[in-house]
Chain A
Amino acid sequence: MRDPATFDAFYSGSVRRVTGQVYAMTGSRAEAEDCVAEAYARAWQRWDKVSGYGDPEAWVRTVAYRVSVSAWRKAANMRVAHRRQWAPDDTRGLSPDYVAIIAALRKIPPRQRQAIVLHHLVGLSVEEIARETGAAAGTVKARLSRGRQAMAPYLADSEPALNRKPGPDAKPGPDAKPGLNGTEVACDA
């Protein structure tokens, strides 16, 4: 028996957070909102089962991501048209660092992006990501590593993820911070 009250409470308490996570995975506000809504609708469709899961939010997040990937695969033409038509998402009110990170995430492969978001945003461990994505732990580690490397050039001028490779004359200074790959790099921002 599906209980609307428990679903409504679950939905109201988690939808914004999940939308933020899926937005980071897809890079499109409209797509994130649509996929998340679809995922919650599917959750309600089988709420008697989903409500009994240990982490329904993870279920919704996974379904929303799969919906986005599925739509991406099935409608390549549509997405081309959308890129022509849809203006960049409204970024008013968002920090420049976050906008830069989202832009960088859009430029790396989807699986790497998913791993990075689940690890750095959702806060899952490698093992937890492996369970959620159905990949081996080693694969997740590789995706995280490669994803960080792939993002690094796009965040070169961004404050939060300093990952510049020091030039031949560069030396770690007093403000050196760990970069995205965990390397020590100079901060001149």
Chain B
Amino acid sequence: MPEEFSVSLRAGSADFAASVKPAAPAAIRARGNRRRRRQALTAAALAFAIAVGGAGTAYASLGRSGLAAAPVTGRGPSAPPSGPGGAGRPGIVAVTDRGALVVLDPLTGIARKILVRGDVLPGTVSVSPDGRTVYFAAGHGCTGMIESVPTAGGRVSVIAPGVRPAVSPDGTRLAFVRTPCRPSATVASPEVVVRDLAGGGETVLPAASRPSSAGMVAELSWSPDGRRLLVSASRSNGYWVLAQVDLAAARYYLPSAGSGGSAVPVTGPDAAHSYYRGGVFLPGGDLFVDRVCCSDDGAAGVTSNLLWEIDPSGRFVHRVAIGWLDRDHTSLDGDPSGHWLLYLSGPDLFLSLGGAAPFKLTTGLGAAAWI
């Protein structure tokens, strides 16, 4: 036996093992527990599918039960439009590419109710924790206007000038983005505003001490405890950052010394050239992010677009999908039960049950969220 080969392999492997930074045992146990729950859920969905749909539907569900498998959205839809787990799937509210705010049938993707007929801006919509109110931005004035409407339908209420609404987990506060109106020659930096929905009081967070360092804010998301905001923002140099802003201490939303915020670390291979194009908190505290690599040549230099679940320290938890290189992936969202994910890939709406292979439900949308 080539002893020297074995010795080199073992010595190298020992060095490699020493460099491994494994997840905490509790995290692994939590992953195992989640897997157990997902399997139970899949089994229930399968039983339901067999009961109501026959063997064909059951097979479709079985095909996506391998949760460790890496889904490939680049292949296109991996299932019939209805997808798995239809019985327990929450509702979806969406903005169409014609500017209407609608409630989608979660099984077919067809609009079953129109809440607002037009002028709704793409980007983000947000649903109150009780599922009764949708917050959206309408195209009024130079900054947009945050408005709300009951998910059951009814009168629209005007909240405040701004865009990108995100309602807090307890439903009492609304975060949004406001860009002051300025003469066209002047660059205005967006501000993140947290508004008390009952009293109307506002906390305003500028981008930084130097306004010129701001670019735009694409997404806002609340931590499950309501103490932090996740801000997906671009800097003036074009690079994107995912910032965790402690609302009790923050002075600015872009991370810098003394800002009270911090950037979610980008980990994994090629971390130095990768960044998070967007991200949201999931109910369990992890993040659902769009990780893009590499940015050196702008959009033309994007070589991967990965939808990942990570923990708040940036550690990789689960790969949900591989996105298209030439598309933006927006409206990332997890449903309150923690079982479902959704995102838009360009105008296409994809859903994922338990982080398994996403499937395309419908298209022609500019924003979406779980109810």
Contacts and interface: CB of A to CB of B under 8 A. Distances in A.
Interface string A79-102: 001101111011001110111011
Interface in A47-104: 67, 70-71, 74-75, 77-78, 81-82, 84-87, 89-90, 93-95, 97-99, 101-102
A41 B7 CA distance: 31
A146 interface: no
Contacts of B75: 77
B20 A98 contact: no
B64 to A, nearest CB: 11
Interface in A124-166: 148, 159-163
A85 B293 contact: yes
B9 A101 contact: yes
A176 to B, nearest CB: 12
Contacts of A17: 17
For the residues of A in contact with B, the DSSP-based class is helix
Nearest to A144: B1
A43 B25 CA distance: 12
Contacts of B112: none
B23 to A, nearest CB: 6
B16 A78 contact: no
Interface in B7-33: 7-20, 22-23, 25-26, 28-29, 31-33
B15 A177 contact: no
A21 B98 CA distance: 54
A34 B316 contact: yes
Contacts of B8: 95, 97-98, 101, 159-161
A8 B25 contact: yes
A16 interface: yes
Contacts of B4: 160-162, 177-178
Interface in B270-304: 270, 293-294, 303-304
A75 B70 CA distance: 6
Contacts of B33: 44-45
For the residues of B in contact with A, the DSSP-based class is helix
Nearest to A18: B17
Nearest to B7: A160
A98 B17 contact: no
A24 B270 contact: no
B35 A30 contact: no
Contacts of A19: 16-17, 20, 22
Interface string A99-113: 101100000000000
B5 to A, nearest CB: 4
Interface residues of A, number: 65
Given A84-B304, A97-B12, A180 B5 contact: yes
B225 interface: no
A74 B70 contact: yes
A98 B15 contact: yes
A37 B23 contact: yes
A144 to B, nearest CB: 10
B303 A85 contact: yes
Contacts of B68: 38, 67, 70-71
B9 A120 contact: yes
B5 A161 contact: yes
Contacts of A84: 303-304
A41 B322 contact: no
B15 A40 contact: no
Contacts of A20: 13-14, 16-17, 20
A160 B35 CA distance: 42
Contacts of B303: 84-85
Contacts of B294: 85
A72 B62 CA distance: 19
A4 B22 CA distance: 17
29 contacts: A4-B25, A7-B25, A11-B25, A16-B20, A19-B20, A19-B22, A20-B13, A38-B31, A40-B28, A40-B32, A42-B32, A44-B28, A74-B66, A75-B71, A78-B70, A78-B72, A84-B304, A85-B293, A86-B269, A86-B270, A95-B8, A95-B11, A95-B12, A98-B8, A98-B12, A98-B16, A160-B5, A160-B8, A161-B2
Given A101-B5, A179-B2, 8 more contacts: A7-B29, A11-B25, A33-B20, A77-B322, A81-B322, A84-B304, A97-B12, A161-B4
- Ranked nearest first, the 3 interchain pairs of A and B with the lowest CB-CB distance are A98-B12, A85-B304, A160-B8
